[in-house]
């Protein structure tokens, strides 16, 4: 069986599955049980300054959207950082790290953007024996109104500045957790690197309103008739997170910067995808909040089985393997021509492909009186919509036309690789090399 032991920033954990800084990691009781359940590491719920802790709302703090059978697809929250006393948290962290030396324990921190604040908390964290810190520059609600969380993460100069303080007053690895509530994720990631951060983790949650209560005419979760945006997470945000991770992984300024992947990771496969895009490990929250700590068992067994099947002996073997295949649109091969093919034996005759193509695409599917659906190659642009709406897996597939054959739609011969940069329709095209 594949060895899942993962070393990230020199921190070794039995597997790459860490629990993200969030409600599941708010206290000793939870973290001990999480480690016992099999989680490889934990980023402790974000610590704030010493003194009176923050307070949370006393009404609902989570909202959600659901799919079939009330499967939770996305969740948001308006919970703040830990509302427990700093020293209680520090004492608990010390005890847990002492008892679980093989597991990773990271302290998440959020204090005001003043050097003194960081200077005073970092030595306390250092004393716990935690393996590193994660700077919470991501929380999009509540704390950001006080100039912390996402308010810092949205200003690259602040990120760099705080990262520098942390490197100055703390000896172990520093991870900067990024907010996705920006226009270009590469900028804050570059700033973190410039500040000396050892890694970035992303994504934090996305500004969101999950529902509007149409009776109260108020956003949910609703607190006494009012609502405020929360942070969105869960399976629904995974595609956004994957894209942001890939941008950092392939960006010139940030390439090679270790990444801890976060964002809707629910299964072993999600984790593998993040890692293929360059993440050294992953952090999970919503899946645990939905199904409990036990869900990690499936992640462990699934990743092991897949690695065995692929012949990967260590997570190092596949981390970042998909990064070279993430490119710009302009470099995609315009001479890669495919056509949809419908497997008539697998087809159950629902006609969704037909409705989608006929009403909203290229009128490239014919329907017979016997409900047989066939692709009209002369019209098919290979958009993949039929594949996406078909309820039967593998019923519709995209088949590549051989080089040298004629595309019935364009009447043109399928040629060798060529992209937009040399295309005659591109006003900025450069002539192809002779």
Partner 1 sequence: MNISPRTDGITAGRLTEDELAQNFSDLHPPLDKHEAHVAADRCYFCHDAPCMTACPTSIDIPLFIRQIATGTPEAAAKTIFDQNILGGMCARVCPTETLCEEVCVREIAEGKPVEIGRLQRYATDRLMAQNTHPFERAAPTGKRIAVVGAGPAGLSCAHRLAMKGHEVVILDARPKPGGLNEYGIASYKSTENFAQAEVDWLLRIGGITIEPGTALGRDVTLEALSSRFDAVFIGMGLNGVNALATPGEGLANARDAVDFIADLRQAEDLQSQPVGRNVVVIGGGMTAIDAAVQSRLLGAETVTVAYRRGQDRMAASVYEQHLATASGVRILANVQPVALHGNDALEAVEFEYTRDVDGRLTGTGETIRVPADQCLRAIGQTLAGAPEPLDLSGGKIAVTGAGRTSLPGVWAGGDCATGGDDLTVTAVAEGRDAAEDIHTTLMGEG
Pattern of binders to partner 1 over 58-97, x per CB under 8 A? ----------xxx---------------------------
> Distance between the two ends of the chain, CA-based, in angstroms?
51
Nearer to partner 1, 202 or 390 (CB): 390
Q: Kindly state the smallest distance separating residue 344's Cβ from partner 1, in Å.
A: 13
Nearer to partner 1, 212 or 432 (CB): 212
Among 212, 216, 392, 432, binds partner 1 (CB under 8 A): 392
Q: What is the C-alpha to C-alpha distance for residues 210 and 236, in angstroms, rounded to an integer? A: 12
Q: Where are the beta strands (DSSP E) in 92-242?
A: 104-109, 132-136, 174-177, 199-202, 206-208, 211-213, 218-220, 230-233
Q: What is the C-alpha to C-alpha distance for residues 143 and 48, in angstroms, rounded to an integer? A: 10
* 367-386 positions binding partner 1, by CB under 8 A: 367, 371
Among 145, 269, 349, 400, binds partner 1 (CB under 8 A): 349
Q: Kindly state the smallest distance separating residue 371's Cβ from partner 1, in Å.
A: 7
Instruction: Please report whether residue 391 would count as binding partner 1 according to CB under 8 A.
Output: yes
Instruction: Please report whether residue 196 would count as binding partner 1 according to CB under 8 A.
Output: no
Among 124, 240, 350, 366, binds partner 1 (CB under 8 A): 350
**377 Rama class: left (phi>0) / alpha (psi -120 to 50) / beta:** alpha
Q: Kindly state the smallest distance separating residue 220's Cβ from partner 1, in Å.
A: 15
Stretch that binds partner 1, among 41-49, 153-161, 179-187, 342-350 (CB under 8 A): 342-350
- Alpha carbon of 152 to those of 72, 159, 233: distances in Å? 30, 6, 20
Active site residue 139: yes
Among 354, 385, 386, 387, binds partner 1 (CB under 8 A): 354
Nearer to partner 1, 44 or 354 (CB): 354
Q: What is the dihedral of CA 276, 160, 162, 137, to 10 degrees?
A: -50
Instruction: Please report whether residue 23 would count as binding partner 1 according to CB under 8 A.
Output: no
CA-closest candidate to residue 19, choices 138, 82, 108: 108
Q: What is the C-alpha to C-alpha distance for residues 97 and 266, in angstroms, rounded to an integer? A: 26
Instruction: Please report whether residue 361 would count as binding partner 1 according to CB under 8 A.
Output: no
Question: Cβ–Cβ contacts within 10 Å for residue 74, how many?
Answer: 21
Q: Kindly state the smallest distance separating residue 129's Cβ from partner 1, in Å.
A: 48
Q: Kindly state the smallest distance separating residue 368's Cβ from partner 1, in Å.
A: 12
Among 112, 196, 302, 351, binds partner 1 (CB under 8 A): 351
> Residues 401, 338: contact at Cβ < 8 Å?
yes
Stretch that binds partner 1, among 95-103, 109-117, 226-234, 348-356 (CB under 8 A): 348-356
Among 216, 332, 348, 399, binds partner 1 (CB under 8 A): 348
Stretch that binds partner 1, among 235-243, 272-280, 307-315, 349-357 (CB under 8 A): 349-357
Cis previous bond, 203, omega within 30: yes
Residues in the chain: 434
| Helical segments of 278-351, H only | 286-291, 295-310
Residue 65 DSSP SS3: strand
- Alpha carbon of 49 to those of 83, 284, 324: distances in Å? 11, 25, 42
Q: Which of 113, 139, 166, 350 is catalytic?
A: 139
Q: Kindly state the smallest distance separating residue 70's Cβ from partner 1, in Å.
A: 7
Instruction: Please report whether residue 406 would count as binding partner 1 according to CB under 8 A.
Output: no
CA-closest candidate to residue 236, choices 265, 267, 193, 209: 265
C-alpha triplet 358, 360, 366: angle, nearest 5°: 15
Nearer to partner 1, 350 or 414 (CB): 350
* 240-279 positions binding partner 1, by CB under 8 A: none
How many residues bind partner 1 (CB under 8 A)? The answer is 14
Nearer to partner 1, 147 or 349 (CB): 349
Nearer to partner 1, 52 or 391 (CB): 391
Instruction: Please report whether residue 216 would count as binding partner 1 according to CB under 8 A.
Output: no
Q: Kindly state the smallest distance separating residue 372's Cβ from partner 1, in Å.
A: 13
Beta bridge partner(s), residue 77: 62, 231
- In our burial notation (b when 16+ CB lie closer than 10 A, e otherwise), range 369-408 reads eeeebbbbeeebbbbebbbebbeeeebbeeeebeeeeebe
DSSP state of 319: T
Residues forming the active site: 139
User: Which residues contact partner 1 by CB under 8 A?
Assistant: 68-70, 348-352, 354-355, 367, 371, 391-392
């Amino acid at each position: 069986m594949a060895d899942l032991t993962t070393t990230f920033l020199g921190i070794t954990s039995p597997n790459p599955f860490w629990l993200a800084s969030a409600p599941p990691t708010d206290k000793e009781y939870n973290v001990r049980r999480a480690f016992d359940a099999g989680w490889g590491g934990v980023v402790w719920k974000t610590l704030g300054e010493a003194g009176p802790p923050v307070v949370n709302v006393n009404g609902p703090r989570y909202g959600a959207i659901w799919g079939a059978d009330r499967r939770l697809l996305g969740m948001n929250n308006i919970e703040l950082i830990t509302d427990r006393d700093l020293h209680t948290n520090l004492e608990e962290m010390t005890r847990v790290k002492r008892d679980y030396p093989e597991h990773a324990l990271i302290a998440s921190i959020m204090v005001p953007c003043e050097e003194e604040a960081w200077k005073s908390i970092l030595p306390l964290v250092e004393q716990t024996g935690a393996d590193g810190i994660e700077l919470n520059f991501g929380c999009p609600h509540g704390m950001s109104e006080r100039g912390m969380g996402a308010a810092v993460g949205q200003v690259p100069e602040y990120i760099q500045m705080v990262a520098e303080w942390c490197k100055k007053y703390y000896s172990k690895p520093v991870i900067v957790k990024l907010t996705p509530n920006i226009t270009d994720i590469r900028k804050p990631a570059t700033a973190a690197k410039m500040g000396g951060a050892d890694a970035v983790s992303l994504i934090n949650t996305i500004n969101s309103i999950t529902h509007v209560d149409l009776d109260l005419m108020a956003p949910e979760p609703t607190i006494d008739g009012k609502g405020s945006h929360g942070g969105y997470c869960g399976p629904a945000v995974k595609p956004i997170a994957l894209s942001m991770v890939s941008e950092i992984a392939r960006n010139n300024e940030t390439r090679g910067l270790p990444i801890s992947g976060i964002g809707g990771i629910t299964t072993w496969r999600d984790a593998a995808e993040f890692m293929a895009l360059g993440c050294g490990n992953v952090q999970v929250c919503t899946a645990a909040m939905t199904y409990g700590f036990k869900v990690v068992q499936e992640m462990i067994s699934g990743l092991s089985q897949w690695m065995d099947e692929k012949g990967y002996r260590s997570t190092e073997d596949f981390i970042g393997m998909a990064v070279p295949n993430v490119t710009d649109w302009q470099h995609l091969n315009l001479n890669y021509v495919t056509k949809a093919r419908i497997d008539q034996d697998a087809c159950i005759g629902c006609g969704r492909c037909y409705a989608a193509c006929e009403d909203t695409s290229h009128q490239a599917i014919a329907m017979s009186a016997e409900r047989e659906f066939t692709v009209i190659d002369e019209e098919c642009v290979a958009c993949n919509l039929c594949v996406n709406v078909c309820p039967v897996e593998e019923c519709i597939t995209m088949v590549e036309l051989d080089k040298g054959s004629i595309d019935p739609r364009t009447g043109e011969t399928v040629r060798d690789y060529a992209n937009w940069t040399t295309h005659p329709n591109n006003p900025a095209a450069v002539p192809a090399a002779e």
